[in-house]
Amino acid sequence: MSQGNTQPSKVQTTGHVWDGDLQEYNNPLPNWWLWGFYLTIFFSVAYWLAYPAWPVGKGFTTGMATITYKNDKGVEKTTHWNTRALLMKDLQDAREFQKKYFDRVAAMPYDQIAKDPEMLNFVASAGKVLFADNCAACHMSGGQGKRGFAPSLVDDDWIYGGTYDKIQETITNGRHGIMPVKGGANLNDVEIDNLANYVLSLSGESMDAAKVKAGDELFHGKAACFSCHGADGKGNKDIGAANLTDKIWLWADVPGAGSADKQVEAVKAVIAAGLNKGVMPAWSGRLKADQIKLLTTYVHDVLGGGSKK
């Protein structure tokens, strides 16, 4: 019989025939597959030569590829390629990237940083880390502060002033607000009660009119509260004497008092005991000048409390 008749189509055979009609097809691998296969062989050999690959005794073949990086002391090192060196190189790149931006922060005036979205982006991310490490323990992570402990940095109310210069001065040298016991005058309980009523009336609370009048006279007279808090009660940023008219209370827990009587008690307690616990540490010895400048921008422009006042 002729082979042609038993062939289903034009498939090649190897030419061998067994048992009369048993044949072997010859299906060569497609070229694209073969070349792909050769390529993987070539690639693996190249890879073994370039990179650490085979265990040898207690070590391994290191390969010919090298990697050069500067360690954190700035010393340049070249070694065979390995993931640890790769990490060191990434860290070096990150350090150089940060330094570039810190140098720009140091060189730029504050108002220019605030107008530059790229710089503000950097301030927001690097400032967040610095703030979390150094400031959040007292001012809380979002800068919202905590009554009786540390002021909010996100409102536009400033004990010492919210300009760049004042904020920088605060962070560099620290602050320590002191109010003498009973304002320094020898006040009795009735007088303190009258003063507390007057102080609360400054914040718009409706208080006993007679007590407010008596407190007003004391405030501007014998008790001399005005000498620090100003005749209008709006405070004095040079010595950190609080603004008593802004409804913002750092030490007297007026918002948490619950009742009108308790509000008076809260203010009385502060006047009677004085204040000496508001200590903002100085950072000049702990942070570098460019870090303080970055934090100043962070407080002013990112936390959003920054004011022109």
| Binding residues for ligand HEC (CB under 6 A) | 134-135, 137-139, 150-151, 153, 158-160, 167, 170-171, 175-180, 183-184, 195, 199, 223-225, 227-229, 239-242, 244, 249-252, 267, 270-271, 275, 278-281, 283, 295, 299
Distance between start and end Cα atoms, the chain: 109
State how far the Cα of 98 lies from the Cα of 220, in Å rounded to an integer.
Answer: 53
State how far the Cα of 38 lies from the Cα of 281, in Å rounded to an integer.
Answer: 68
Give the nearer residue to ligand HEC in terms of CB position, either 101 or 197: 197
Give the nearer residue to ligand HEC in terms of CB position, either 211 or 229: 229
Buried b (16+ CB within 10 A) or exposed e, 30-65: eeeeeeeeeeeeeeeeeeeeeebeeeeeeeeeebee
Q: Are 159 and 151 in contact (CB under 8 A)?
A: yes
Closest separation between CB of residue 270 and ligand HEC, Å? Answer: 5
Give the nearer residue to ligand HEC in terms of CB position, either 105 or 228: 228
Of 284, 278, 283, give the one whose Cα is nearest residue 176: 278
Closest separation between CB of residue 103 and ligand HEC, Å? Answer: 21
Closest separation between CB of residue 94 and ligand HEC, Å? Answer: 22
Neighbours of 287 (CB within 10 A): 18
The helix-helix angle for 289-297 and 164-173 (nearest 10°) equals 130
Give the nearer residue to ligand HEC in terms of CB position, either 85 or 270: 270
Give the nearer residue to ligand HEC in terms of CB position, either 126 or 167: 167
Closest separation between CB of residue 143 and ligand HEC, Å? Answer: 8
Give the nearer residue to ligand HEC in terms of CB position, either 65 or 137: 137
Closest separation between CB of residue 139 and ligand HEC, Å? Answer: 5
Closest separation between CB of residue 299 and ligand HEC, Å? Answer: 5
Of 264, 256, 139, 84, give the one whose Cα is nearest residue 192: 264
State how far the Cα of 275 lies from the Cα of 233, in Å rounded to an integer.
Answer: 17
Residues 6+ apart with CB under 8 A from 73: none
Closest separation between CB of residue 140 and ligand HEC, Å? Answer: 10
Give the nearer residue to ligand HEC in terms of CB position, either 88 or 187: 187
State how far the Cα of 93 lies from the Cα of 299, in Å rounded to an integer.
Answer: 27
